[in-house]
Amino acid sequence: MGIALSLTENVLREGFVYALMAIGVFITYKILDFPDLSVDGTFPLGGVIAAALINAGADPWLTLLIAFAGGAAAGAVTGLLHVRLRITNLLSGILVMTALWSVNLIVAGGKAVVQFFNRPTIFSTGFGALVSASFYAQRKLIVAFVLVMALKLIVDLFLTTRHGLLLRACGNNAQFVVNLGKDPGTVKIVGLMIGNGCAALAGCVLAQISENADVNAGKGMVVMALAAVIIGTSLFERFGKFKGTTMAIFGAILYKAALQIALSLGLPPNYLKLLMAAVLTLALVSKEFGANERYVTGKEVTDEA
C-alpha cells in the first residue's frame, strides 16, 4: 500500500512538472500547428540555468523567471529561422535543438551533469519553505501543483486577451491575421517564445526536484510533450468543455502514469523511449481516425473552385 501511494505521488509530481512543458507545447502544436522540436533543447536549458544560478547563490524562485526568459529567447530563434529565413518548421526546431546542445554545455560549465545538493531550491525557500513547514514529505508535489495551476491560469487568461485571440486566429487562418493588418510571423514568434519558455520552466523545476541538472535530460521531450497534449485532448475533448491547458495537464499525468505502470510491471528502463515513441504513434493514429467526426471547414462549398 505504501509503495502504491508513493508511486502515485511520484506520477503526480512528475506529471505536474511535465505538464508545465505540455502547456507550452499545447500553444505551439495545438494552437499554432507548429511541431516544435526545439523543446528537446530548451527543457535541459532550463535545468542548467537553474544549476548555474543556484550554485552562484541566486534566489531559486528567480531562476524560474530567468529559465523562462532563456527558453523564450531560444524559441524566438526558432521563430526567426522559420518566419524570416523561411526554413521549414521541423528544420528550424532541429537547428535550435542542436545549437542548444552547445549552449547548455557552456551554461553547465562544460559538465554533462551539474549537481547542487543541499543548496536552496524552490522547495526550501520562499513559498516552498512555508509548505515544507507543515507538509515536508509532500512539499515537492504541492509546490509543483501550485506552479502548474499558476501557469495554467496565466496561459488561460492570456488566451482571452486580444493578443491571445490573435494567436488562436493565427494558427487557424494566417490570412485572417494578415487581413487584420498584423504580421502573422510576429504572432508565431511570440507563440514559440511562450512555448519554449514553458519548456525551460519545466526543466528548471525538474532540476530543482532532483537537485542536479543533466544536459541529456531533453532527449525525447518533444515526443513526451506531444503525446501528453494529443492524449489529453483526444481523450477529454469528448467530455464537454475542458480548456486546452487542462487537457494538457491531464494528458501529462496520464502519460506519466502509463510509463510508470509499464516500469512497475517489469519493463526494462532501456525500452522506455521505445515505449514513448509507440505511445505517441498510437495517439497520433487514433487522432487521425477520430478526425472525420469534426466538421471540415469550408470543404463542401469550395469543391467547384
For other proteins, the binding residues (CB under 8 A) are: 158, 160-166, 168-169, 172-173, 175-184, 295, 297-298, 300-302, 304-305
Q: Which is nearer to other proteins, 180 or 282 (CB)?
A: 180
Minimum distance of other proteins from residue 255's CB (angstroms): 25
Residue 284 backbone phi and psi in degrees, to 5: -65, -45
Q: Do 140 and 123 touch, CB atoms closer than 8 A?
A: yes
Q: Which three cell numbers stand for residue 168?
A: 488562436
Q: Which is nearer to other proteins, 57 or 298 (CB)?
A: 298
302-305, long-range: CB < 8 A, 24+ apart: none
Minimum distance of other proteins from residue 162's CB (angstroms): 4
Q: Do 197 and 28 touch, CB atoms closer than 8 A?
A: no
Q: Do 135 and 73 touch, CB atoms closer than 8 A?
A: no
Beta bridge partners of 213: 114
* Angle subtended by helix axes 60-83 and 89-107, to nearest 10: 140
Q: Do 78 and 90 touch, CB atoms closer than 8 A?
A: no
Minimum distance of other proteins from residue 289's CB (angstroms): 20
**What single letter denotes the amino acid at residue 280?**
L
Q: Which is nearer to other proteins, 187 or 283 (CB)?
A: 187
The full DSSP string for 211-232 is: TEEEGGGGTTHHHHHHHHHHHH
Minimum distance of other proteins from residue 19's CB (angstroms): 23
Q: Which is nearer to other proteins, 85 or 301 (CB)?
A: 301
DSSP helix/strand/coil, 86? coil
Q: Which is nearer to other proteins, 44 or 191 (CB)?
A: 191
Q: How far, in whole angstroms, is CA 36 from its chain's centroid?
A: 10
Minimum distance of other proteins from residue 195's CB (angstroms): 18
d(CA 139, CA 238): 34
Minimum distance of other proteins from residue 261's CB (angstroms): 34
Minimum distance of other proteins from residue 248's CB (angstroms): 17
